[in-house]
Structure 1
């Protein structure tokens, strides 16, 4: 269909709907800009946005004015596509991307295979009088340019139809002109000989340009195809079916059929399907995906439970209250979808410049031809043709196209050597601007697993080993999540569990059992008071001191006295303080966010030298905090390891996941630290500075090359020096500019982080 352009509607209509569609065939950030612009200018669309990172477009439109089919036609008119009619559009998108990658891989390999002999022939017989070599080069290069490289010409034409130009336009023009000029020379070599010129051809330059640019696109697609879908993994946290209690019977329902008010049964080890409130039973639930804290939370009658969290050992029933898009998990998914996107990498700037560069070069070429026709004398036509074609040949975008991807490739490799996995160019291109780093506490600053830090025996009437054996027996039968830390601590000593009897778990307090006629208990202060065991001043002081150190205190006692005080904590990593100090030295503000209590947060902040922190923070609060920093002019890097960090990671300008964290955190993040060593964060930001500096140097020399080379190719030195640039020398200069860019990028390999 013909697309009618108009200014975007400034206000939305009450009948507007908002839909998200997968986008196909986008290969750069500029593609996303083109699709977004086309959608915004389609009648009936009030607003639209295209997310290059996850290849999605959201469109707010009036279905009475424009249909999804018309939106698809508008996008197709500029060479892209959106998936509108499919049961599983994400699967269609993934299959299309996989097919495109395989097709591009075959085309690139074949282009390289065909280009190599053309280059070898061109280098060895460029001055040969035997014309058949030119025919051989033409036959080999023609399929490279017009078959293997046809997409550049097709896309350039589609862009031109709408008055746009990009890197595809430059590639199509330079290779097309070079080939046509060379083909003319091949069929009519006497045209130049009669005018005293050697019949040069430039088939090798045209073929190599296609091969080089295709290789760059293949490497980019490879990086994109190996990243898994964060959204699919989040959706995978929700069970497909739900067990409903209907009167005295149980029945399984699809998750989509659950309604608020349904009574849901959850058994040990199962994921909770929807949000609700416990109405029968009790259990401990791993809510680390929501709070980020490693210690499961006890749920009893009236306790709130959330979709995607994991039930531990108990079984319970709860009443569904929020289902479908209203659950906490669904809101996290929606937020990640909206916030996870590309933040305009440097290559987008290059494409914008190319849009101006192309008509300027064309204008210079035409002006050069006209000028030499006027002032060229007897050989005006020959000189005019040679100089105008030389302008187009020397303006080849190869150096410009390689400037960013080569530096990014070397920078990514350097990061991998230093245990920093970089997902895409965006993080490297933004990292050098970061002036605020937000750190999650659990698993990022700390180890992420509770361990026994202190086991202080106060009274040992029957020997410590025997009492440790009793303690081991009680904790090994306990369902409390902290009990595992105690059993692991004692197990390392090689002590076996005693044979206790009358074991009883007291919900909300702890456990008790009998051994050799004596009752022993392990639990909190409430349990000790319930057993009427005295807490003397020494015990009180030590317990208070441990709590001030952000540790959880557990008491082990007989029915007569306190036997031991056990302190459990999530220890701070050894390198956390060093990492924070290095960030401060780089002039970066460091913030810590945690779902833990203020006392624990303050203790960790003190140990690591962090000056700014917030406690009792929910996942949405983390994302809001990042937004607030951004609103205050900060460029924010978020470092986290859990599902609860995914919203903030997606919102941040630069997102960094700890390598031992959750899959979703690593999917959303643009960088992953393999070792979970926090000192890799300042290294990653330094790598960004050095990579961006290299990109700027490459772009500078690529543009300087054109600024100097194009006037010389046009003949500005001829009046004063009698010098006209030979098109073959122009081709060599073009190749030399590419070599210089690649060589400069390779210097990153020996840089020190």
Structure 2
């Protein structure tokens, strides 16, 4: 099974995207095909089918496909607006004289009489013929180049509608100008300005749309901008500048103050601070010393560092982030399937309505009325707005989410997250920092140092906290033995040390003479068989955890905790955060079972970070992984919070809900616009010029509304 990504050209409306998708999906061996009209890309999954065969199917349908190289996902392709901008200016210069004089002639009869008395209507019509013909043959040639083949294939698109409308107006006017005798009395009129204005306004609309769509890729643009073009690499004792693409794993990289970190690696020489806001969203720089990790895209502080590359190219964290954002922006929500089915038949339906309009007006009105109404129907229809409604919102919404540190790994999660009723959190590493600390003790400093010497030989997380609390001045332990689930024993400075839980003390026959705070995890200590005191350890709650839980509750969601920790420890954290629904002391499969119980009440999002959370992340309606967690958890999740902060869940849900609202607004406008204005045009209440203006404005309005999502999460 292979997944191909293509750049698709020749698409100008939602109907084009639907036809291209149908052509790609019709290739034998293709299991899925999704075409994104907003960024003109296609993602195809196929088994045993070469990429060139898939591309040939798209080309045969009229939409040439170019395969993206694997590393191409981490690049930014921008449409060149230059040719389109030139076409708009040329069309405007040629159209303006016709439009101004014709409109002035209609509004002020004196102007019409002046033209008739000086140039003569015949001569003026010939001037219009030349100018309008130049518009159609020059800037408007693109519509004919794409629209006519589409008509000949029996798959008309937006270009076909423009071709039919503009050609009808121009052709009728040409007959009226050069062979007026073939027309009925009273039907000798020209509509050259309509043909020229149609082309000019639609080109202008496409230019505005292209500019707005370009802004939707700002998130990826900024991410790509985090990669330096040149890297200072030390090879064979000499330091030289090399292109980023030439850096390989193991290279020694020199970072000057303020430089971007080019690849993932570790510090080999020097110490300083690094701005990791692109990962965590936190403005406070992080201290780095020898052995500490560095991530591509972060910014070195005021001191020079030397690092060794450990991941380069597509394997860096930044490249994976860019790929995830690009994949999310190209995703298609379930609602898009319905839109595609409608847009596929939209243009043929409009052509039928236009033909019927002409026939009816020929019967009840005049030839000019039939022409105007028919052309207006062809031009007012806007499948572009329908085709852009969903993908534009997804592009902007997922881009904004990335700026907030939220990566949607699967597109359908964007829709599913908006409908969750319950958010269930893992405790350790998700709501808490995941690194226990000594918060209380009755041991003396000397005894703490002895216990730390004993714990230094252990790999238990609590052991590391005890060693850190004691500092550097600890002794050397001998005869260390670990008792699983209970504690550890050994000898330090000749004394026998026992450290562990209450069960360990009972095993050794030692009486505990004090009770620790119930919210702490106690480590009791005995020296030479005599109780010496205890250490109280606690995994501190993350700074924004309480704020995130309160915000979710205020937003109408139930918050639960599912933890593998003891009921005592889990309940203590839950009480601090205001969580009442707690399931504790469960194994990984138990988390999955607890999740299933919650899902009986509605869709559930699960937030976790560890390997033991992977089954629950995969089983949840939406799995949300902390970016600071394990790779296994991230791979099992639908959404990744790069910062590792619980508030990221709030941001993810906020973006999801705002994006879904935006999609429905766009679809409501796009469908409502066509449903209302096509009948208005058929009734002869719209001129072709106004129809062209409305059609161009419709797509621009959809794109502009989608761009409002860039404001989500900003504090006023």
TM-score tier after normalising by the smaller chain length: 0.5 to 0.7
Aligned length: 557
Between the aligned partners of 2:178 and 2:582, the Cα distance in structure 1 is: 78
8 Å Cα contact 1:175-1:209 kept in structure 2: no
> Alignment partner of 1:441: what SS?
coil
Aligned 1:25-174 pairs, distance under 5 A: 25=6, 34=22, 38=26, 55=43, 57=45, 68=48, 77=57, 95=69, 98=72, 105-106=78-79, 108-110=80-82, 112-118=84-90, 120-121=92-93, 124-127=96-99, 133-134=131-132, 137-138=135-136, 140-141=138-139, 144-145=142-143, 170-174=157-161
Q: Is 1:637 matched up with 2:605?
A: yes
Shift of 1:392: 1.4
> Alignment partner of 2:382: what SS?
coil
Between the aligned partners of 1:644 and 1:119, the Cα distance in structure 2 is: 64
Pick aligned residue for 1:488 from 439, 446, 468: 468
> Alignment partner of 2:69: what SS?
helix
Instruction: Tell me which residue corresponds to 2:308.
Output: none
8 Å Cα contact 1:414-1:748 kept in structure 2: yes
Q: 1:433 to 1:479 in 2, by over 3 A?
A: closer
Between the aligned partners of 2:150 and 2:219, the Cα distance in structure 1 is: 22
Between the aligned partners of 1:219 and 1:651, the Cα distance in structure 2 is: 36
Instruction: Tell me which residue corresponds to 1:555.
Output: 524
Shift of 1:204: 2.6
* Cα-to-partner distance string for 1:209-263 (whole Å, 9 max, x where unaligned): 65567678878899899999xxxxxxxxxxxxxxxxxxxxxxxxxxxxxxxxxxx
Pick aligned residue for 1:373 from 353, 362, 371: 362
Aligned 1:512-523 pairs, distance under 5 A: 512-515=490-493, 517-523=494-500
Between the aligned partners of 1:354 and 1:425, the Cα distance in structure 2 is: 21
Between the aligned partners of 1:98 and 1:138, the Cα distance in structure 2 is: 37
Instruction: Tell me which residue corresponds to 2:691.
Output: 730
Instruction: Tell me which residue corresponds to 2:272.
Output: none
* Cα-to-partner distance string for 1:688-720 (whole Å, 9 max, x where unaligned): 334433332332233332223212222x2x5xx
Between the aligned partners of 1:98 and 1:192, the Cα distance in structure 2 is: 57
8 Å Cα contact 1:440-1:594 kept in structure 2: yes
> Alignment partner of 1:443: what SS?
coil
Pick aligned residue for 2:346 from 357, 373, 376: 357
Aligned 1:39-438 pairs, distance under 5 A: 55=43, 57=45, 68=48, 77=57, 95=69, 98=72, 105-106=78-79, 108-110=80-82, 112-118=84-90, 120-121=92-93, 124-127=96-99, 133-134=131-132, 137-138=135-136, 140-141=138-139, 144-145=142-143, 170-177=157-164, 180=167, 190=177, 195-200=188-193, 201=196, 202-208=198-204, 344-377=333-366, 380=367, 382-408=368-394, 411-412=397-398, 415=401, 420-421=406-407, 426-438=412-424
Shift of 1:133: 4.8
Kindly report the root-mean-square deviation, in angstroms, between the aligned alpha carbons of the 2 structures: 4.9
Pick aligned residue for 2:473 from 497, 510, 514: 497
> Alignment partner of 2:192: what SS?
coil
Q: 1:427 to 1:357 in 2, by over 3 A?
A: same
Q: 1:418 to 1:176 in 2, by over 3 A?
A: same
Q: 1:677 to 1:584 in 2, by over 3 A?
A: same
* Cα-to-partner distance string for 1:369-402 (whole Å, 9 max, x where unaligned): 222233333xx1x443332222111102333344
8 Å Cα contact 1:216-1:405 kept in structure 2: no
Instruction: Tell me which residue corresponds to 1:450.
Output: 436
* Cα-to-partner distance string for 1:645-696 (whole Å, 9 max, x where unaligned): 4554455444433343345655665544454332443454344334433332
Shift of 1:199: 0.4
TM-score normalised per structure 1: 0.60
Instruction: Tell me which residue corresponds to 1:8.
Output: none
Q: 1:564 to 1:185 in 2, by over 3 A?
A: farther
Pick aligned residue for 2:624 from 640, 656, 665: 656
Instruction: Tell me which residue corresponds to 2:540.
Output: 571
Between the aligned partners of 2:426 and 2:94, the Cα distance in structure 1 is: 59
- Of residues 553-562 and 400-409 in structure 1, the stretch that sits farther from structure 2 once superposed is 400-409
Shift of 1:58: 7.6
* Cα-to-partner distance string for 1:261-280 (whole Å, 9 max, x where unaligned): xxxxxxxxxxxxxxxxxxxx
* Cα-to-partner distance string for 1:146-191 (whole Å, 9 max, x where unaligned): 77xx5x9989988x67xxxxxxx64343344356557758987836
Q: 1:180 to 1:622 in 2, by over 3 A?
A: farther
8 Å Cα contact 2:617-2:637 kept in structure 1: yes
Q: 1:215 to 1:596 in 2, by over 3 A?
A: farther
Structure 1, unmatched stretches of 5+, are 1-19, 60-67, 82-91, 162-168, 229-339, 458-463, 719-723
TM-score normalised per structure 2: 0.63
8 Å Cα contact 1:512-1:522 kept in structure 2: no
Between the aligned partners of 2:439 and 2:678, the Cα distance in structure 1 is: 71
8 Å Cα contact 2:143-2:160 kept in structure 1: no
Shift of 1:483: 2.0
* Cα-to-partner distance string for 1:627-647 (whole Å, 9 max, x where unaligned): 6765x4723323233455455
Q: 1:141 to 1:71 in 2, by over 3 A?
A: closer
Q: 1:449 to 1:115 in 2, by over 3 A?
A: farther
Shift of 1:76: 6.3
* Cα-to-partner distance string for 1:382-437 (whole Å, 9 max, x where unaligned): 44333222211110233334434454455456656755455676444443322122
8 Å Cα contact 2:626-2:642 kept in structure 1: yes
